[in-house]
Chains A and B, each alone.
Chain A
Amino acid sequence: MSSNNTNLKELFLNGIVKENTIFKLALSLCPSIAVTNSLKNGIFMGLAVLFVQTMVNLTISLMRKVIQPKVRLPIFMLVISGWVTVTQLLMAAFVPDVYAKVGLYIALIVAFASILARAEMFASKNSILPSMADGLGMGVGFLFALTVISFFRELVGKGSLTVPTGLATQHVFTFINTKPLLIMILPAGGFLAVGILMALFNWIDAYMKKSAHASH
């Protein structure tokens, strides 16, 4: 039982660190730039992906014995677009102000390579619990990446930070008083932010490998 638990934990962590969708695999990049100009949008987009990924993995895993291998891709697409529609309707009903801004990108979760890839590579071959752990890990990893990017962009671009508390947002603190770097919340800044953060992750990775070598 305990080894089973550690396995689930490893699956969960795998999606966050080792195979982080955005920073490591460089997949599903579109929303990482499009919706990360404020922390609130970034978090809601991340939550939407987390929900879709987990539910898709769960559904595919439940159906894995009845899906014909030859028509599996269209079926996966159908399952994904079904759950995306559910997410879209839920968000339109409960957080209309966020939906107005990120609506198009929610619909486009359908075309995410990462969700289809997890369904194909993992959920169609594994039982329910591991599949859900895998989906949760991937989703949380995505949420984490979006949060970091949007945190960075809002902090530098607006000079202040707001966090979503429930449905409202609350002003937290002011970082730059006079002139924030407006470019960071403009489209161009998104690319710059992701580029710089990716380089930072590479650097930390290389640094850790180096120090691991030195200690041996």
Chain B
Amino acid sequence: MSSEFAKLLEIIISASLINNFVFTRFLGLCIFFGVSKKMETAVGMSITFTAVMMISAAISWVIFNMVLVPLEITFLEIIVFIGIIAGLVQVSDTIMRKVSPGLYYKLGIYLALISTNCIILAVPLISVGEKYSFVQTLAFGFGSGLGFALALIIMASIREKLELADVPAPFKGLPMAFIITGLIALAFTGFSGLITL
């Protein structure tokens, strides 16, 4: 039992720190650069993102193992997963608007952005590839969300300060953001020895 728990902890730490989606797998960059200008949007995005990711990973796992595997059509995984995500985003959009308009007003725009985010598709693809169990898939989704939140919040806090800095003209905006991300990624390589398997 405890070894199972240790395995879950290991998945969460590895997904959030060692294989951080932004800094070592380079996924979700469009969103990462898009919403990391302000702390408030970064936090909103992180919360919405983690929730949607866990739910979509769970549903994808169920459909992959209960439907695609028995029917031997696993090569359709991309089409099926993207369908699940698009559907899920649409459904949560509608539910949120009816049930909690306040929350929808705050987080609604992030929901629409999520469907074009590659991380959300990568999580089910990787967890299927690694043959994770259901609980492990949930842990992986949670860890990935945590890692993305960490990346967004670090970046947002740096970029808020950067507004005041004197950056050479050709580097203004995105190029500078890339270079800063490179430096953070360099720091994150330090985590690679955290768990020795």
User: Cβ of B185 and Cβ of A195 under 8 Å apart?
Assistant: no
User: Is there an interface contact between A108 and B175, defined as CB atoms closer than 8 Å?
Assistant: no
Contact partners of A111 in chain B: CB under 8 A: 82, 116-118, 120-121
Q: CB distance A77 to B86 under 8 Å?
A: yes
B51 on the A face (CB < 8 A): no
Measured in the bound complex, the distance between the Cα atoms of B171 and A85 in whole Å is: 38
A188–B184 CA distance with the chains assembled, in angstroms: 8
Q: How many A-B residue pairs have CB under 8 A?
A: 117
Residues of B close to A186: CB separation below 8 A: 186, 189
**B33: which A residues are within 8 A, CB to CB?**
26, 29
Contact B176 A85 (CB under 8 A): no
Q: Does any Cβ of B come within 8 Å of A189's Cβ? A: yes
Which of B78, B175, B185 is close to A88, meaning CB atoms less than 8 Å apart? B78
Return the CB mask of B132-163 against A: 1 if under 8 Å, else 0. 00000000000000000000000000000000
Which residues of chain B are near A107, meaning CB under 8 Å? 78, 121, 125
| Cα separation A186 to B188 with both chains bound (whole Å) | 12
- Given that A187-B189, A203-B170 are known contacts, is A195 also in contact with B116, CB under 8 Å in the complex? no
Segment at the interface with A among B5-13, B20-28, B41-49? B20-28
The 8 Å CB contact of A190, one of B26, B83, B117, B125, is: B26
Q: Which residues in chain B, 62-115, are within 8 Å of chain A measured between CB atoms?
A: 75-76, 78-79, 82-83, 86
A137 to B37 CA separation, bound complex (whole angstroms)? 31
- Provide the bound-state CA to CA distance between A74 and B115, in Å: 11
Interface residues on B, range: 35 or more
- Tell me the minimal C-beta distance from A58 to chain B in angstroms: 19
- A206 / chain B contacts, CB cutoff of 8 Å: 169-170
Question: What are the residues of chain A within 8 A of B117 when measuring CB–CB?
Answer: 111
- State whether A199 and B181 are in contact (beta carbons under 8 Å apart), knowing that A30-B30, A30-B118 are contacts in the complex: no
B179 near A192 with CB under 8 A, answer: yes
- With A30-B28, A116-B116 known to touch, is A198 a contact of B175 (CB < 8 Å)? yes
Given the complex of chains A and B, what is the CA–CA distance between A80 and B24 in angstroms? 26
Are B175 and A187 in touch, CB under 8 angstroms?
A: no
Beta-carbon contact of B186 and A188 below 8 Å: yes
Q: Per DSSP, are chain B's interface residues mostly helix, strand or loop, or mixed?
A: helix
Are B182 and A190 in contact (CB-based, < 8 A)?
yes
- Cβ of B122 within 8 Å of any chain A Cβ, yes or no, is yes
A95 within 8 A of B: no
- Report whether A198 and B174 are in contact in the complex, using a CB–CB cutoff of 8 Å: yes
Q: Report A-chain residues with C-beta under 8 Å of the C-beta of B79.
A: 78, 81-82, 85
Q: How far is the CA of A69 from the CA of B155 in the complex (A)?
A: 38
CB distance from B71 to the nearest CB of A (A): 16
Q: How far is the CB of A37 from chain B (nearest CB, A)?
A: 11
Query: Which residues of B are found within 8 Å of A84, using beta-carbon distances?
Result: 78
Interface pair A29/B186, CB less than 8 Å apart: no
Query: Hey, what's the 0/1 contact readout for A68-109 against B, CB within 8 Å counting as 1?
Result: 000001100110011011001100000000000000100110
| Bound Cα distance A147, B167 (Å) | 28
Establish whether residues B185 and A188, one from each chain, have CB atoms under 8 Å apart when the complex forms.
Answer: yes
Pairs across A and B, CB under 8 Å, 25 listed: A26-B174, A29-B30, A30-B29, A77-B82, A77-B83, A77-B86, A84-B78, A85-B78, A107-B78, A108-B125, A110-B82, A111-B121, A186-B186, A187-B24, A187-B26, A188-B186, A191-B182, A192-B182, A195-B171, A195-B174, A195-B179, A195-B182, A196-B179, A198-B174, A200-B170
Closest 7 CB pairs of A and B: A195-B178, A191-B182, A192-B182, A188-B186, A188-B185, A195-B179, A203-B170
Q: A28-B30, A111-B117, A191-B182 are in contact. List 10 more A-B contacts (CB 8 A).
A: A30-B27, A34-B26, A85-B76, A108-B125, A183-B186, A187-B26, A191-B181, A198-B174, A198-B175, A199-B170
Which residues of chain B have a CB within 8 Å of any CB of chain A?
23-30, 33, 75-76, 78-79, 82-83, 86, 116-118, 120-122, 125-126, 129, 168-172, 174-179, 181-183, 185-186, 189
